[in-house]
Amino acid sequence: MPHAAMLDHLEHVARLTHGRDRDVLDATLADVVLATLQARAVVLWEVLPGDEGELLDVRAHARADALPAPMSAAGGSAPAWPRLSERPELVQVLHAEVTTVIGDGRGTRILVPLRTETQRRLVLDVALAGPADAQARRVAEGMGRIYVNVINLLDASERDTLTGLLNRKSFDDTFYKATRSSHEAAAEAQRRVDSGAHHWLGVIDVDHFKSVNDRFGHLIGDEVLLLMARLLRSTFRHDDRLYRFGGEEFVALVRADDAVAAAAAFERLRTAVEGHSFPQVGRVTVSIGYTAVRPFDTPADAFERADRAVYQAKAQGRNRVVCFESDVAPQAGQPLQHAGGDVDLF
């Protein structure tokens, strides 16, 4: 390979492995593949669960003619996710888990299935103006592999090894990222009185977990934590952020339109745990405290309020859900104010 071409490729690989922001990484993959293969367009699809079948999200999109990208649900406010079943070629590639090259009337598409260690499923979809030779296919596969390796490294540094949930270290970043859009929306809406919060932060603490360890041993204790993480995942939406903060303390950053929906979500978790039969241990309960995320909240402030609520839940007998705004703040004589505003949430 001529040195100039080799330097170009190295530059692309360096770009692909630089940075820690996932959205930037997705966009870089699309850009780099577009440039390297001189493609017409590149789309990075991700399969997401939906109530009525799997959906497709456009994680990133790049095209040679620089027309505007289609709406991505990842950063957009009005999701326009197509159903996976409407794209039989993607269904087939994901099922077979092998790269497929198809003619699309205007040229060729190289479809590379990607799977991360956390079982995210994506497809790198490269549209070429002409035919695809074996090298083009291998380049697309190679770029896809580098991308997955970087994602796996990021996941490993942000995730709790026992449960696979996000770890405490990643809380600040993911909190700001998840709530940023609601902060902006809230600022634009001039803190509408009836809007409520869009994000809610809950602290979930297993009750009397020390006695689980003492009676059944640490291995069984670990299994309870693992099952607890599974119950969290099945209770909340796929785009809610779930953390293990260490020990038997979990945190959920949940999107809900109003206080009633938020209360219902946390109560659903409490009931699911209470009704679950844990192998050997039997019944386990959790105490939950939660708070509305306010415009311009810091992660530490929101956590501190939810923590005060969980403290009250413990003090009142455990196996209960306590809301900071409706249950803790009024007792403490605190006005319910947004940090930067003046409107009650409830």
Ligand X SMILES: Nc1nc2c(ncn2[C@@H]2O[C@H](COP(=O)(O)OP(=O)(O)OP(=O)(O)O)[C@@H](O)[C@H]2O)c(=O)[nH]1
The residues annotated with a catalytic role in the active site are: 248
Rounded-to-integer distance, Cα 197 and Cα 257, Å: 7
Nearest-approach distance from CB 155 to ligand X, in angstroms: 19
Which residue of this chain has its Cβ atom nearest to ligand X in the complex? 221
Rounded-to-integer distance, Cα 317 and Cα 26, Å: 47
By beta-carbon proximity to ligand X, the closer residue of 296 and 311 is: 311
Q: What is the DSSP string of 220-267?
A: HHHHHHHHHHHHHHHHS-TTSEEEEEETTEEEEEEE-SSHHHHHHHHH
Q: Is 207 in the site for ligand X (CB under 6 A)?
A: yes
Identify the residue among 20, 218, 237, 283 touching ligand X (CB under 6 A).
218
Q: Is 279 in the site for ligand X (CB under 6 A)?
A: no
Rounded-to-integer distance, Cα 22 and Cα 4, Å: 29
Nearest-approach distance from CB 249 to ligand X, in angstroms: 8
Which residue type occupies 219? L
**Which segment (76-84, 200-208, 231-239, 291-299) binds ligand X by CB under 6 A?**
200-208
Q: Is 285 in the site for ligand X (CB under 6 A)?
A: no
Nearest-approach distance from CB 209 to ligand X, in angstroms: 3
Query: Distances from the Cα of 320 to the Cαs of 211, 249, 291, 308, in angstroms?
Result: 19, 15, 15, 14
Identify the residue among 222, 239, 257, 274 touching ligand X (CB under 6 A).
222
Nearest-approach distance from CB 219 to ligand X, in angstroms: 7
Q: How many CB atoms lie within 10 A of CB 287?
A: 24
Identify the residue among 46, 57, 160, 205 touching ligand X (CB under 6 A).
205
**Interface map 228-247 toward ligand X (x if CB under 6 A):** -------------------x
Identify the residue among 69, 213, 258, 311 touching ligand X (CB under 6 A).
213
Residues 6+ apart with CB under 8 A from 296: 183, 338, 339, 340
Altogether, the residues listed in the chain come to a count of 346
Identify the residue among 26, 57, 158, 248 touching ligand X (CB under 6 A).
248
Rounded-to-integer distance, Cα 73 and Cα 30, Å: 17
By the 8 A CB rule, do 155 and 117 touch?
Answer: yes
By beta-carbon proximity to ligand X, the closer residue of 9 and 318 is: 318
# chain residues binding ligand X, by CB under 6 A:
15
Query: Distances from the Cα of 8 to the Cαs of 32, 37, 138, 150, in angstroms?
Result: 10, 12, 17, 20
Q: Is 160 in the site for ligand X (CB under 6 A)?
A: no
Residues 6+ apart with CB under 8 A from 83: 50, 53, 54, 55, 56
Instruction: Restricting to residues 13-42, name those near ligand X by CB under 6 A.
Output: none
By beta-carbon proximity to ligand X, the closer residue of 158 and 207 is: 207
By beta-carbon proximity to ligand X, the closer residue of 69 and 281 is: 281
Q: Is 221 in the site for ligand X (CB under 6 A)?
A: yes
By the 8 A CB rule, do 170 and 176 touch?
Answer: no
Name the residues that contact ligand X, by CB under 6 A: 205-210, 213, 218, 221-222, 225, 247-248, 314, 318
